[in-house]
Structure 1
């Protein structure tokens, strides 16, 4: 974990006060920067809607996303507990019996993960979600690494809430609901690309992100165009090896 990587990560996460701020791309950036900076194997992000229901809105890999979805399906696991208690949750060895959350442990083990650290995304007394770090080997992350991870989660939370100069409650509802709506579009677009291009969901998502960046368009706008059929999918280029 180099000083340069940490500094770059915080600069990127603080850059949210722009007119075309895209919360979905921002949260995927957070997940990617966690992997690059903290030297973990994967990261995932859960955010709560205005009813308190959790949703997967960012992940560094398809494996991490599927583990998060499995946890939400059973409503039990370290990430859910982290959100509910607003406190970090660590599972140093997922395979160590007896598993506290059998369904989560099985899904994580199948994805190749052996440990998870869940950190709250919070601002003062308000918790909006959880940042989840996965490693392929058992063990606990060091205290300096966890401090940086929590700081990244805090900065990202502040960035989401301050992206527009509105009342905090109004902003929270607007930004999070917008992120959740965009996430639905992205998942639909991934399915469309996966079917038409005969690739996996992971490569389909990377193709979406690559097209979004190369054409300087919001990820949610590109996803909407794919679902509506108003963009030629052959323009997405070589998505890589099917996953």
Structure 2
């Protein structure tokens, strides 16, 4: 194989760019499988990644044939990619025909598609595995040990990008929840002030009146507060309730 130093550096730069700029995880995954085909001389590649429930999904493939074979692995719950995901260890299958006893139906389908070897590489970061990369060869022993190490390195870079995207998404969700909670608290404080002024109550009494009204009407305190502040809710019913300091 011709020197691949230049293409290899380019592939790592393109994958590493996802760590510092806005990017699409699907595009990152597609870049990974296409880079593997370009750099490793395999025929096709596919990628399985866990969703928010922890279930594996096909995220990228270099051909429809590969995509269908990956889907078959998921539906049948057997195959080298599943093994690599569950163990976190690469699964090299240098001769797919010889592995028919391990995955009979998967091996038959792979051989029917023209693949003679398959290599599964986990997407992992330390103890966390979030998916697996499948490399399909048209010859036996299509990949060397060096090729497998390179495939693992590419998968590791992509894994970092995917995990970073998930952490950012979780952080954004938490920030939205926090902003919502703070905004809700502001509205509740405003409603307490309205009730305290109209009913000549202290702030604790106003809060208990508001919360008791919400509970008795199976409403959220935030919704009752919003109605009080906007004037859409008649406060006389709330103020007529006896004060319950114990809440």
With the length of structure 1 as denominator, give the TM-score of the two structures: 0.65
2:128 to 121, 126, 135: 126
* Equivalent pair of 2:100/2:107 in contact (CA under 8 Å): no
Match of 1:50, SS? coil
* Equivalent pair of 1:131/1:153 in contact (CA under 8 Å): yes
* Equivalent pair of 2:123/2:156 in contact (CA under 8 Å): yes
> Are residue 78 (structure 1) and residue 73 (structure 2) matched?
no
**CA positional deviation for 1:96:** 2.1
Please show how residues 157-236 of structure 1 align to structure 2 within 5 Å: 157-163=159-165, 166=168, 170=170
Q: Deviations over 1:51-91 (max 9, x none)?
A: 32111110111111111111111000100010001111111
Q: Relative contact order, CA 8 A, sep 6+: which one is greater?
A: 1
Q: Quote the residue 2:141 is aligned against.
A: 139
Q: Where do 4+ consecutive residues of structure 1 move more than 4 Å?
A: none
Please show how residues 7-156 of structure 1 align to structure 2 within 5 Å: 7-16=9-18, 17-19=20-22, 21-96=23-98, 98-139=100-141, 141-156=143-158
**CA positional deviation for 1:151:** 0.3
Distance 1:90 1:64 in 2: 17
After the TM superposition, which of the residue ranges 138-147 and 24-33 deviates more from structure 2?
Answer: 138-147
Distance 1:38 1:114 in 2: 15
**How many residue pairs align between the two structures?**
170
After the TM superposition, which of the residue ranges 156-165 and 23-32 deviates more from structure 2?
Answer: 156-165
* Equivalent pair of 2:97/2:111 in contact (CA under 8 Å): yes
Match of 1:65, SS? helix
Distance 1:160 1:98 in 2: 33
Distance 1:125 1:97 in 2: 28
Distance 1:97 1:145 in 2: 21
Larger radius of gyration: 2
Distance 1:94 1:42 in 2: 15
Distance 2:151 2:55 in 1: 24
* Equivalent pair of 2:93/2:99 in contact (CA under 8 Å): no
Distance 1:164 1:97 in 2: 36
Distance 2:158 2:148 in 1: 15
Change beyond 3 A, Cα 1:30–1:93: same
Distance 2:129 2:34 in 1: 22
Stretches of structure 2 that go unaligned for 5 or more consecutive residues are: 175-247
Match of 2:115, SS? coil
Q: Deviations over 1:125-158 (max 9, x none)?
A: 1000001111011115211111111000000011
